[in-house]
Amino acid sequence: MADAAEDKRNQPQDPLIEALRALLGERLSTAQAVREHHGKDASYHAMEAPDAVAFAESTEEVSAIVKLCAQYKRPVIAFGTGTSLEGQVQAAQGGICIDLSNMATILEVNEADLDCRVQAGVTRKTLNTYLRDTGLFFPIDPGADASLGGMAATSASGTNAVRYGTMRENVMGLTVVLADGRVIRTGGRARKSSAGYDLTRLFVGSEGTLGIITEVQLRLYGIPEAMAAAVCSFDTLEGAVDSVILTIQSGIPVARIELLDELQVKAINAYAKLDYPVKPTLFFEFHGTEAWAREQAELVGEITRDYGGANFQWATRQEDRTKLWEARHNAYFACLALKPGSGAWATDVCVPISRLAECILETRKDIDETGVLAPIVGHVGDGNFHLTFVIDPDDPEEMAKAEGVNERMVMRALSMGGTCTGEHGVGTGKMRFLQAEHGDALAVMRQLKVALDPDNIMNPGKILTV
């Protein structure tokens, strides 16, 4: 919010700032600290501050702000909670950041139809706390307590996408403010529709480059009768990954199946004061009735034994499961603690499940040969894994090594029919790989961008250049 130490730099010379101040009053901030906070995500990417931050409270207000930005042809960058990892919120060309955190109302919950509608600034944890008494939950869990608008904009997923899908499968409709300030509603509450182009999925994953999402209609699920989690360690990384592949190929509907390599286990043990064997490890979660969850667990137990899995440790009590998943969700911060004072660069790729072992093992070999510190962790049930480079972003030699490993990993994933990012999105960090991934389809994306945003004001310089 605006504070006393307003930066007067942009006033009164800047007519856009003046017009926005007339519209929003105290809810427009040009304070340096506020601008800097909004010019940086959770990654190593450098901070690039917007000229001002507008704290919007309604779709109508977002529309009015965008109309003014369109009039002055100035960039507009949406901001949810700033937890993205590929440079998505940087304001490289200045402009106005629209912070949606004040748009945090849960508009409706339709228990009978298992859906709800929320304003874009509602976070996933807030929604789940609100839903608790209904017996329903929203499953997409990127670890960070991100806003649902931001999660839709980055097509986020996370640990239990293997069972429940990603934002792409779980967003039923949107309210979007377009680059000229028009407001449209996409999708609806029907579970399926053949009525024309699927604009919902066009905006999901568009990272604020096509419009600003102000409301999200989401699918909900019944909280399963039973949930059981387990941890299993392996002598080799290959054994762990092969267990995952067979589990998925066997059609066992695990709710979560997460890989941590040896270095990542060492990091979380130290960070969360745990004592898991320092070996490649899988974290599982099973959902269903008591009997069905137990049956899934037994089937997976047999598979892991065949691949050298040992120490199958159970966590059935809520507090034990929470401790386990908290440890997993803190993997990023545990990596940072491996080398105090360092920065972290998290990158992800996703490959077809049959190529997962090859992709991970070649990447691990490359990391070791290059000599960078980079634990591997992954939502491996989807074929998705992450590297977290623990580096000093100001050390060009270290950065060059990490860039080399990242580039080779992406090209390896693409050569296997995979993608340069399974869930973190493109931002500026993955832009250079889109041509290799999409070929001629990238030109069509560019045409769509120009059609919807002819003056290139919506989060310019992200995903693609025009």
Ligand X SMILES: Cc1cc2nc3c(=O)[nH]c(=O)nc-3n(C[C@H](O)[C@H](O)[C@H](O)COP(=O)(O)OP(=O)(O)OC[C@H]3O[C@@H](n4cnc5c(N)ncnc54)[C@H](O)[C@@H]3O)c2cc1C
Measured CA distances, 451 to 126, 204, 345, 456 (Å): 36, 17, 34, 10
Among 116, 151, 231, 293, binds ligand X (CB under 6 A): 151
Among 81, 160, 363, 419, binds ligand X (CB under 6 A): 81
- Residue listed under structure tokens 């507009």: 76
CA 427 to chain centre: 12
Among 157, 243, 296, 419, binds ligand X (CB under 6 A): 157
Among 54, 64, 131, 156, binds ligand X (CB under 6 A): 156
With the CA atoms of 390, 396, 400 and 401 taken in that order, what torsion angle do they form, in degrees rounded to the nearest 10? -50
By CB under 6 A, residue 150 contacts ligand X: yes
Q: Which is closer to ligand X, CB of 299 or CB of 464?
A: 464
Q: Which is closer to ligand X, CB of 21 or CB of 124?
A: 124
Region from 27-35, 65-73, 156-164, 194-202 binding ligand X, contact rule CB under 6 A: 156-164
Query: How far apart are CB 43 and ligand X at their closest, in Å?
Result: 8
Among 213, 315, 410, 457, binds ligand X (CB under 6 A): 213
Q: Which is closer to ligand X, CB of 174 or CB of 300?
A: 174
Q: Which is closer to ligand X, CB of 146 or CB of 315?
A: 146
Measured CA distances, 229 to 156, 287, 297 (Å): 23, 9, 9
Q: Which is closer to ligand X, CB of 179 or CB of 303?
A: 179
Other C-beta atoms within 10 Å of 20: how many?
23
Q: Compute the distance between CA of residue 124 and CA of residue 129 in angstroms, rounded to an integer.
A: 9
By CB under 6 A, residue 424 contacts ligand X: yes
Query: How far apart are CB 158 and ligand X at their closest, in Å?
Result: 4
Whether 287 and 255 have beta carbons less than 8 Å apart is answered as yes
| Residue window 290-329: x/- pattern of binding to ligand X, with contact defined by CB under 6 A | ----------------------------------------
Query: How far apart are CB 117 and ligand X at their closest, in Å?
Result: 14
Query: How far apart are CB 106 and ligand X at their closest, in Å?
Result: 15
Other C-beta atoms within 10 Å of 180: how many?
16
Among 70, 122, 212, 372, binds ligand X (CB under 6 A): 212
Specify which residues 106 forms β-bridges with.
Answer: 118
SS3 for 43-88 is CCCCCCCCCEEEECCCHHHHHHHHHHHHHCCCCEEEECCCCCCCCC
Number of residues that bind ligand X (CB under 6 A): 37
Query: How far apart are CB 233 and ligand X at their closest, in Å?
Result: 22
Cis peptide before 139 (omega within 30 of 0): no
Query: How far apart are CB 13 and ligand X at their closest, in Å?
Result: 27
Among 24, 78, 231, 338, binds ligand X (CB under 6 A): 78
Among 17, 109, 120, 267, binds ligand X (CB under 6 A): 120
Query: How far apart are CB 75 and ligand X at their closest, in Å?
Result: 10
Q: Compute the distance between CA of residue 208 and CA of residue 198 in angstroms, rounded to an integer.
A: 17
Among 146, 232, 241, 324, binds ligand X (CB under 6 A): 146
Other C-beta atoms within 10 Å of 22: how many?
10
Residues whose CB falls within 8 Å of the CB of residue 113, separated by 6 or more in sequence, listed in order: 189
Count the residues in the chain. Answer: 466
By CB under 6 A, residue 149 contacts ligand X: yes
Q: Compute the distance between CA of residue 232 and CA of residue 298 in angstroms, rounded to an integer.
A: 13
The amino acid that residue 72 corresponds to is Y
Residues whose CB falls within 8 Å of the CB of residue 325, separated by 6 or more in sequence, listed in order: 159, 229, 283, 285
- Residue listed under structure tokens 């004061």: 273
Query: How far apart are CB 441 and ligand X at their closest, in Å?
Result: 21
Q: Which is closer to ligand X, CB of 49 or CB of 293?
A: 49
Among 39, 50, 75, 82, binds ligand X (CB under 6 A): 82
Query: How far apart are CB 286 and ligand X at their closest, in Å?
Result: 20
Q: Compute the distance between CA of residue 208 and CA of residue 204 in angstroms, rounded to an integer.
A: 9
Q: Which is closer to ligand X, CB of 309 or CB of 383?
A: 383
Q: Which residues bind ligand X (CB under 6 A)?
A: 41-42, 77-85, 88-89, 100, 120, 142-144, 146-147, 149-151, 153-154, 156-158, 207-208, 212-213, 332, 423-424, 459, 462
